[in-house]
Amino acid sequence: MVKNTIILIFLLKLFILLAKGNEEDKQNKFISPLTIKKHFKTVINVPIFTYLVNKTIQDRVYHLYNTKGVKYFSNLKLPIEIINLGEILKSSSFEFFIITKLEALENVNISMEEKMAICNDIREAVMYAKRIMNSNEYKESIQYFKDGEKEFSELDFIYMENVLGLDVMYNIASNMHMKYPRELYLLCGESIDEKDICKSTFDYLEKF
């Protein structure tokens, strides 16, 4: 009796692990090529930051923000398309929005109308993301991003886990619209064609 119970428990655990693995494989099929952290070893507000509790570092973070961060953002040039993209993403990051929509399409129970609405959301988000990256403001911001990464490098990975110091400043600023060009830069670089992972991702999404 005890032996049969042990075997039954083992089989149940094995079934749960296999089911979990299949579900993760299914999700990773879409999520993996989109994940900034995996490919560029850093993240930007997708979707939760992990804080490392250290009062000394925290004081330094806010000192840098007040003395240098505010000035940095006041000089940042932003394309008008961030407003349009923000209306679609509704406070989500571009990456998190796309991942969520792709996962929703995997739901076999959604109607054709819902699928069409999701595909339309993806198309519009991609369209405005491309317009942002093709804008003069974005191109002018590239060197500004690089300068900012150097300016706040002392905070790299020490206040927010896996987060660059510049992106800590973005998080404190709490302006999601302002983050979109920065997120696209982390995902793609200077242009959509610069990184194969970015080009293939946008090519795939444009099919919707």
Query: Tens digits of per-residue pLDDT, 15-56?
Result: 344 444 444 444 344 444 455 444 444 444 443 455 656 788
pLDDT attached to residue 158: 86
The pLDDT of residue 107? 83
Which two three-digit tokens encode residue 1?
């009796």
Which positions ≥6 away from 11 have C-beta within 8 Å? none
Query: Where is 96: in which H helix or E strand?
Result: helix 94-105
Question: Over the stretch 56-97, which tens digit does the pLDDT of each residue have?
Answer: 888 999 999 999 999 999 999 999 999 999 999 998 889 889
What's the pLDDT band for 2 if we cut at 50, 70, 90? Answer: very low
Distances (CA, A) of 51 to 38, 48, 67, 69, 83: 19, 10, 22, 19, 29
- Provide the pLDDT for residue 53: 62
